[in-house]
Amino acid sequence: MSYLELAGLQKRFGNATAVDDVSLSVAKGEAVALLGPSGCGKTTTLRMLAGLIEPDRGTIRIDGAEITRLPAHRRNMGYVFQSYALFPHLSVARNVAFGLEERGRPKAEIARQVEEALALVRLSGLDARRPRELSGGQQQRVALARALVIHPSVLLLDESLSNLDAKLRDAMRHEIRSIQRALGITTLFVTHDQVEALTMCDRIAVMHRGRIAQIGAPEEIYEKPATRFVAEFVGRANALPAERGPDGQVRLWNETLALAAPADGSFDVFVRPQRMRIVPVSEPAGPDTARVAGRVLRSVFVGDHVEVLVEGAGGQLTVEMPSGSPAPAEGSEVAVVWPATESRVFAREAP
């Protein structure tokens, strides 16, 4: 059952279309990430949801009721801005109380709710501080408490972790995710960081040029990218130029793969580097295994894995081996193998 429903949302600025026919159904309690490169329309989508800008076309519904043109303060959405947007002259407690004061709640109730919200984000005792007296991570949590205190029907987070250092960002990801789960808040969060998207949500909607290119569970987006753009944007991939052989199968680096080639047009075969293995040239390919031959250009130790760059008849590719496994010597002739099912074929001109 869908709780938050976007249907055919569109927004133009001048003659540029920032959001183009976006439809999305989010279940109650679900967390969905909007993932995409800069300028693809993520913030614009969130701002339409929050009621900060009006869509040109399309509808927004919550629990069946249309809210497309409802003013922001009547939507009950919690919005955490990328910049936190805390009021610098107000204490932590007053910052968190803001939404409740705006709604004219009684003082005693406000005090109790603020205390609860601060406890939830583990900031109890810091009520009297000003934002400038807090660390970045603490300010982030004040912004989160301010969004949560109104018991929003939907929580909107816009790149809220991008100003934090790597360690704090990781801790906050887990913290926000567990609060979101514990409270069962329907959440839409925007990021251009794929690790954040993969770890913080139930489903990912990958956006490209104002449209949703693919929506699915993190594993699905990673393992079965629907378009070339998704394959390139989420995770690493070798994009290997290939041809159609006389038998209709893929020809790659002078080898025939057990894989049907598209009927026309030029295309590339996409394979994740960590799904490839390096084996001796003498080892024949098993059934359902793709295999090409090449020479090792170099091996680079990158901590938890070794990157091996291999050059063959049709170009170069990278294989990611777990570190600890013996890396092949530079200059040695090797074969690179992978399960044929790990290959994805995408037309070269496709968006």
Contact 45, 53 (CB under 8 A): no
Q: Which of ligand ATP, Mg ion, none sits in contact with 15, Cβ below 5 to 8 A by type?
A: none
Amino acid at site 249 = Q
Give the nearer residue to Mg ion in terms of CB position, either 43 or 343: 43
Give the nearer residue to Mg ion in terms of CB position, either 162 or 325: 162
Among 38, 71, 166, 329, binds ligand ATP (CB under 6 A): 38
Site map 93..122 versus ligand ATP, x via CB under 6 A:
------------------------------
Site map 42..71 versus ligand ATP, x via CB under 6 A:
xxx---------------------------
Contact 200, 176 (CB under 8 A): yes
Q: Is 228 in the site for ligand ATP (CB under 6 A)?
A: no
Contact footprint for Mg ion (CB under 5 A): 43
Q: Is 39 in the site for ligand ATP (CB under 6 A)?
A: yes
The DSSP call for residue 262 is P
Amino acid at site 166 = A
Give the nearer residue to ligand ATP in terms of CB position, either 44 or 187: 44
Q: Give min distance, CB of 13 to ligand ATP, in A.
A: 3
| Cα 181 to Cα 173: distance, rounded to the nearest angstrom | 12
Site map 1..20 versus ligand ATP, x via CB under 6 A:
------------x--x-x--
Name the residue among 48, 11, 54, 42 with its Cα closest to residue 162.
42
| Cα 246 to Cα 234: distance, rounded to the nearest angstrom | 33
Q: Give min distance, CB of 255 to ligand ATP, in A.
A: 40
Give the nearer residue to ligand ATP in terms of CB position, either 9 or 335: 9
Stretch of 31-39, 95-103, 225-233, 280-288 lying at the interface with ligand ATP (CB under 6 A): 31-39
Q: What is the dihedral of CA 67, 72, 74, 79, to 10 degrees?
A: 100
Q: Give min distance, CB of 227 to ligand ATP, in A.
A: 17
- The first and second tokens of residue 290, run together, are 């793709």
Q: Give min distance, CB of 181 to Mg ion, in A.
A: 25
Residue 166, helix vs strand vs coil:
helix
Among 32, 40, 161, 204, binds ligand ATP (CB under 6 A): 40
Site map 157..196 versus ligand ATP, x via CB under 6 A:
-----------------------------------x----
Q: Is 204 in the site for ligand ATP (CB under 6 A)?
A: no
Alpha carbon distances (Å) from 169 to 158, 159, 175: 14, 11, 10
Q: Give min distance, CB of 316 to ligand ATP, in A.
A: 31
Name the residue among 42, 40, 66, 144 with its Cα closest to residue 99.
144
Q: Give min distance, CB of 323 to ligand ATP, in A.
A: 33
Contact 342, 271 (CB under 8 A): yes
Residue 266, helix vs strand vs coil:
coil
- The first and second tokens of residue 306, run together, are 């070794």
- The first and second tokens of residue 174, run together, are 């887990």
| Cα 140 to Cα 146: distance, rounded to the nearest angstrom | 10
Binding site for ligand ATP (CB under 6 A): 13, 16, 18, 36, 38-44, 192
